[in-house]
Amino acid sequence: MTIKVNRKILWLVFTSLIACLWAWTFYEYKVIDRTIETAIPNRIQNVARSTKAEIQSLIETSDEILKTLKFHYERESQFNEKLLDDYLKSGILKNNIFNQAGIIDKNGIYIYSNLKNQKKIDLSDREHFWIHKDKYPYELFFSKPVLGRASNKWSIQITIKLDKMY
């Protein structure tokens, strides 16, 4: 038994199926496009909010550590390295998010570091030192990214001026 198929009808069914497939593909593309248009700005806002919160926390922690170092350095009649080590090692001051915490003297010599066996290093040519010798109007200074001479890591130096220099 043979079935005679009309070629015109077969061609019409085939063309209709292709057209439906393209219409469905176009529709799905538009749905995905609209989803992306709404999802990306929301995700960007979420990333921006969390980044802002992290940066604020970093600045507040930096400020806390720097003010504590400044307070003890300026208050004591003699520089008390052990006291600062105790603060940093005990976790009273959170320093696990930093490469290092330290003090530069009035000549630009790096005299204190929380890094083990740190040698004295001349940092008098660094912007984060000499900016405070000029009349820098803000309490904290944030440097451009530099390769740290003590840590040997790329970092942004966050500094505060010490008013009492030994």
The two tokens of residue 124 are 């008098």
Half-sphere exposure of residue 164: CA atoms within 13 angstroms, side-chain side: 11
Q: In percent, how much of the chain has pLDDT > 90?
A: 25
Residue 89 neighbours by CB under 8 Å, 6+ apart: 114
Residue 113 lies in a domain: yes
Residue 78 lies in a domain: yes
Residue 29 lies in a domain: no
Residue 142 lies in a domain: yes
Residue 143 lies in a domain: yes
Type and span of the H or E element at 111? strand 109-113
CB 100 within 8 A of CB 148: yes
pLDDT band at residue 166 under the 50/70/90 scheme: very low
- Structural domain of residue 121, as residue ranges? 59-160
User: pLDDT tens for residues 66-115?
Assistant: 888 888 888 876 777 777 778 777 777 766 777 788 888 889 998 888 87
Residue 66 lies in a domain: yes
Residue 9 lies in a domain: no
Judged by DSSP in three states, 142 sits in strand
Residue 53 lies in a domain: no
CA 144, CA 133: separation in Å to the nearest integer? 18
User: What spatial distance separates the first Cα and last Cα of the chain, rounded to whole Å?
Assistant: 111
Give the model's pLDDT for residue 48.
94
Give the model's pLDDT for residue 81.
76
CATH of the domain at 112: 3.30.450.20
